[in-house]
C-alpha cells in the first residue's frame, strides 16, 4: 500500500499521517511494538530516510518512543495526550532545528 505523491507536500508527512491514523484506529495499540524501519520502507515504498523523518517527528510529538536495539513502540495514551497539547511548542523547535542545518 504505497503512499501517493500527487500534491506538493512532503512524502514523510504522508507516512507520518498514515501511522498516526493506524495508532488512532487502534491498529497499533499502546505499548505495542511497531513494524521496523525496514518494514515501513517496504510497506510504503519509500526510502529509509523518509521513514526515519516520520518516526522522528512522531517521537517528538509523543506518539511513539524508540528503544535502541529493541524497537519502536506506541506511547501510552496519557503521555500522548499531555504531549499533543504542546505540539505547537514542539513544532517551533522542529522548525528551528531545520534552520540550524
> What residue ranges bind a copy of itself (CB under 8 A)?
47, 59-60, 62, 65, 67, 69, 75-76, 79, 82-83, 86, 89-90, 93-94, 96-98, 100-101
Question: What residue 36 binds from a copy of itself, DNA, none (CB within 5 to 8 A, per partner kind)?
Answer: DNA
Measured CA distances, 93 to 10, 47, 76, 96, 97 (Å): 19, 25, 23, 5, 6
Question: What residue 55 binds from a copy of itself, DNA, none (CB within 5 to 8 A, per partner kind)?
Answer: DNA
- To a copy of itself, the closest distance from the beta carbon of 19 in angstroms equals 18
Environment class of 29 (CB within 10 Å of its CB; exposed 0-12, middle 13-18, buried 19+): exposed
Measured CA distances, 56 to 6, 7, 59, 88 (Å): 23, 23, 5, 16
DSSP code of residue 32 = P
Under rule CB under 7 A, residue 58 binds DNA: no
Interface contacts to DNA, rule CB under 7 A: 9-13, 34, 36-38, 45-50, 52-53, 55, 66-72
Amino acid at each position: 500500500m504505497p503512499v501517493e505523491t500527487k500534491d506538493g507536500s512532503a512524502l514523510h508527512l504522508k507516512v507520518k499521517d498514515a501511522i498516526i491514523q493506524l495508532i488512532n484506529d487502534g491498529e497499533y495499540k499502546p505499548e505495542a511494538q511497531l513494524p521496523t524501519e525496514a518494514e515501513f520502507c517496504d510497506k510504503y515504498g519509500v526510502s529509509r530516510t523518509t521513514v526515519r523523518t516520520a518516526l522522528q517527528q512522531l517521537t517528538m510529538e509523543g506518539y511513539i518512543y524508540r528503544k535502541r536495539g529493541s524497537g519502536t513502540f506506541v506511547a501510552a495514551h496519557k503521555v500522548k495526550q499531555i504531549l499533543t497539547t504542546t505540539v505547537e511548542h514542539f513544532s517551533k523547535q522542529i522548525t528551528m532545528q531545520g534552520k540550524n542545518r
